[in-house]
Amino acid sequence: MLILSLILILLFVAGDQAVKYLAVTYLQPDGPMTVIPGLLEFRYVENTGAAFGLLGDYTLILSIITAVCVVVVLAAMIFYQKHSFFSRVAGILIVGGGIGNLIDRFWHGYVIDYISVSFFPPVFNLADCFVVIGVILFLIHFFFFTNKDKGREKIIRSRR
**pLDDT over 70 for what percent of the chain?**
86
Task: Name the residue ranges covered by the structural domains of the chain.
Answer: 2-159
Give pLDDT, residue 20: 98
160 pLDDT band, cuts 50/70/90, is low
Mean per-residue pLDDT for 101-128?
93
> Using an 8 Å Cβ cutoff, are 85 and 136 in contact?
no
Which is catalytic among the residues 30, 104, 113, 149? 113
> Using an 8 Å Cβ cutoff, are 52 and 132 in contact?
no
83 pLDDT band, cuts 50/70/90, is confident
Give pLDDT, residue 99: 98
| 16 classed as catalytic | no
Span 111-121, pLDDT tens digits:
999 999 999 88
List, as one string, the DSSP characters of 25-40: IIIHHH--EEEETTTE
Distances (CA, A) of 5 to 31, 74, 78, 91, 114: 36, 10, 10, 9, 27
| 149 classed as catalytic | no
Span 25-81, pLDDT tens digits:
999 889 999 999 999 999 999 988 766 556 666 778 888 999 999 999 999 988 887
Average pLDDT of the residues of the chain: 88
> Using an 8 Å Cβ cutoff, are 8 and 92 in contact?
yes
Mean per-residue pLDDT for 139-160?
67
Which is catalytic among the residues 16, 30, 104, 128? 128
Nearest of 115, 138, 111 to residue 51 by alpha carbon: 111
